[in-house]
Amino acid sequence: MSSKKRCTKDRQGIEAQYRLLVEKTANGVLCIDADDCLVSVNPSGLRMFGETAAGMTGRSIYEFIAAGNVSPARRFIKAARQGQPAAGTVTCLRADGTGLPVELSITAFADGCLQIITSDVTTGRQAEEALKKSEARYRAVVEDQVDLIRRFLPDGSLTFVNSAFCRYFNKPMDELIGTNVMELIAEDDRDRFQEQIFSLTVDSPVAMAERRLVGRDSQVRWQQWVNRAIFADCGRLLEFQSVGRDITAQKLVEQQLTESEARYRVVVEDQVDLIRRILPDGKLTFVNSAFCRYFGKSMNEIIGENFIHFVPPAHRESILRMFNLLTPENPVAFSEYQFGTAQGNRWVQWNNRALFNEQGEIVEYQSVGRDITAQKEAEIRIAEARAAIERAARVTTLAIIGGGIAHEINQPLNAIRLLAETILLRHQSKGKLPAGEVIKSILNISQQVDRIDNIVNHLRSFLRNSQNYDYIPCNLNDIIEKALSLVSNQLFSRQIEVKKQLASNLPYVYGSTIRLEEVLLNLLMNSMQALDAVDASARELIIHTAYDEDNVYLEVSDNGPGIDDKIKDRIFEPFFSTKSGDSMGLGLSIVHSIIIASNGLISVGNSSCGGAAIKVSFPVYCGT
């Protein structure tokens, strides 16, 4: 192969490599002719300008330069044509009209064409702007800080302090820069300070410490510092930066708090009440000795445990719910529960208080507990005694009813005896009696037996169900009739006229039929006793029922002496009675408790005729 052909081939290879380089480079490569028109643009250049090859080639390069940057672009191109270095930054225009800051590097070819290499400097400019803004923000933050900021070299020389630092030490910045940081540290703390900062490493460059410093008033003050060691990439220590704040007041408060807690602990430890302090997550942070003794555990075994472990499982959910309901407006709640101890089952009552910070967030709970086992046992004994007395009162009621029942039964018994004796006498005098007459007498006897049976069954039902408090829909009018049937003879013997004003179609109420009948019996007997003071010819007892959309009403009134206003507020108190003799004063108290248990209301007053009037109301039963 001739040398000429070899040169041609080499040149072609070089040109191919050049074209490949131009095609693959990340920079834009633009070629312009002698008239400054674009001849070619590589793919990166097209992407930079957001154009196509057809959209750029043949057009003047200046069409793609921002108006304010055309003159410098002309200077760069002119310099390149004159063989001078030509490079600089201009803002070009993208196809969408946005600016494109680029670094130009222009090279002249022998044929009068120029090659312009464009580098997008958008990222660089943004980084520069960001750096400037960051430095400005940093300086503004540092200067506006109330915290003290200092930077010093490994030899201790201060290289920077902020304004707060200068104010704190009452010295100008010029006077502080270059001085040794050790001069500002209490002499006793200097060794510990040096030991700490020179123990910092690349892996652990930060440490916090509390130091005593000589302040602007030459007084030793407490400061808290966060010291950071700054290292070069190679790991060489460059300098230290510290951020500090005065904590003298905090130290004073801590000292006072320590003294206060010591006094508090003395008081708390001497308490017989159980005291505990709990974090929001339930962990116990403090219990007193009484608490430890009560649960038979040492303080070390208890601290850190969740307080809920010291609450019986059956009560845990309700206790947690109670704690969650505490607010700054209602920070206190009481709770009590029974649990087993080495001394047997015990009752404890707790006064629980939530402590809040200024933002309304719970900081901790403090509870004071007291053993109320003796109180609970006394309450149980009182309840049992009250139940026994109420049973006795019911027995008394039944005794009174029983007296009336005896009279109620005697009437049909006398009728049966009379019918039987009549049949016997007529048989003895006349011999055989007509069958019709015998059957008539037997039917009459059967009716009287049925009457006795009804009375006995009603009394048996009342006695059998006296402890049956099943609540069902009840008709007050029916209950009134049943109660009247038990005392009708007593009403008759006392010559009391009963006026019934019972509403028809009376809605049902929800209650225990036996207990509501007990209410009626007590009210009836109360009126009967009151009417003993009235002339027999004028005794009246009125039973009235009514209803509206929401309630059913019952009123039992009489024309007796009435109720003194002075005792109206006490009329339903247990054991309160205006009657002499063996009255226990429980009748109206029992009535009151039954009415309330049936979701009703009861009031006492005087009727228009001057006697007592007891008014009761119940919600209408709606079937739900």
The encoded tokens of residue 478 equal 């029916």
Q: Give the pLDDT confidence score for residue 154 in this predicted structure.
A: 93
Query: What does the alpha-carbon distance between residue 341 and residue 313 come to, in Å, rounded to a whole number?
Result: 14
Whether 92 and 162 map to the same domain: the answer is no
Whether 403 and 521 map to the same domain: the answer is yes
Q: Give the pLDDT confidence score for residue 330 in this predicted structure.
A: 93
Whether 535 and 488 map to the same domain: the answer is yes
What CATH number should be reported for the domain holding residue 76?
A: 3.30.450.20
Whether 280 and 412 map to the same domain: the answer is no
Domain that holds residue 463: 386-619
The count of structural domains within the chain is: 4
Terminal Cα-to-Cα distance of the chain (whole angstroms) = 115
Q: Is residue 478 part of a domain?
A: yes
3-state SS class at 64: helix
Supply angle C-alpha 472, 476, 479, rounded to 5: 85
Centroid of chain to Cα 285: 22
Residue type, 563: I
Query: What does the alpha-carbon distance between residue 462 and residue 482 come to, in Å, rounded to a whole number?
Result: 10
The answer to whether the CB of 291 falls within 8 A of the CB of 268 is no
Whether 329 and 394 map to the same domain: the answer is no
The answer to whether the CB of 47 falls within 8 A of the CB of 95 is no
Last residue of a domain, one of 251, 281, 309: 251
Whole-number Cα distances in Å, 290 to 303, 315, 509: 14, 22, 53
Whether 108 and 64 map to the same domain: the answer is yes
Q: Give the pLDDT confidence score for residue 137 in this predicted structure.
A: 65
Q: Is the pTM of this model over 0.75?
A: no
Whether 322 and 401 map to the same domain: the answer is no
Q: For residue 346, what are the contacts with CB-CB under 8 A and spacing of at least 6?
A: 338, 339, 340, 371, 373
Positions in the chain short of pLDDT 70: 1-18, 20-21, 123-128, 130-131, 133-145, 214-218, 262-271, 342, 385-412, 414-415, 426-427, 429-431, 433, 451, 454-455, 457-469, 573-587, 624
3-state SS class at 426: helix
Q: Give the pLDDT confidence score for residue 317 in this predicted structure.
A: 93
Whether 97 and 223 map to the same domain: the answer is no
Q: Is residue 574 part of a domain?
A: yes
Strand 601-606 and strand 612-619: pairing? antiparallel
The answer to whether the CB of 499 falls within 8 A of the CB of 531 is no
Q: Is residue 593 part of a domain?
A: yes
**Residue 190 C-beta-side C-alpha neighbours within 13 Å:** 11
Q: Give the pLDDT confidence score for residue 408 in this predicted structure.
A: 60
Whether 321 and 247 map to the same domain: the answer is no
Whether 410 and 556 map to the same domain: the answer is yes
Query: What does the alpha-carbon distance between residue 511 and residue 516 come to, in Å, rounded to a whole number?
Result: 7
Q: Is residue 376 part of a domain?
A: no
Q: For residue 466, what are the contacts with CB-CB under 8 A and spacing of at least 6?
A: 394, 514, 518
Query: What does the alpha-carbon distance between residue 407 and residue 455 come to, in Å, rounded to a whole number?
Result: 11
Number of H helices and E strands in the chain, helices first, is: 17, 22
Last residue of a domain, one of 188, 222, 251: 251
Whether 48 and 180 map to the same domain: the answer is no
Whether 32 and 59 map to the same domain: the answer is yes
Q: Is residue 183 part of a domain?
A: yes
3-state SS class at 356: strand
Q: Is residue 7 part of a domain?
A: no
Q: Is residue 136 part of a domain?
A: no
DSSP type of residue 288:
-
Last residue of a domain, one of 124, 152, 167: 124
Nearest to 122 by CA among 105, 100, 93: 100
Angle, helices 513-531/476-493, rounded to nearest 10 degrees? 30
Nearest to 523 by CA among 592, 577, 599: 592
Phi, psi values for residue 228, rounded to 5°: -125, 130
Residue type, 598: S
Q: Is residue 265 part of a domain?
A: no
Our CA dihedral for 49, 52, 54, 56, rounded to 10 degrees, sits at: 0
Residue whose entry in the numeric block shows the structure tokens 């002698």: 34
Phi, psi values for residue 373, rounded to 5°: -60, -45
Partners of 117 in beta bridges: 29, 105
The answer to whether the CB of 349 falls within 8 A of the CB of 370 is yes
CA R_g for the chain: 53
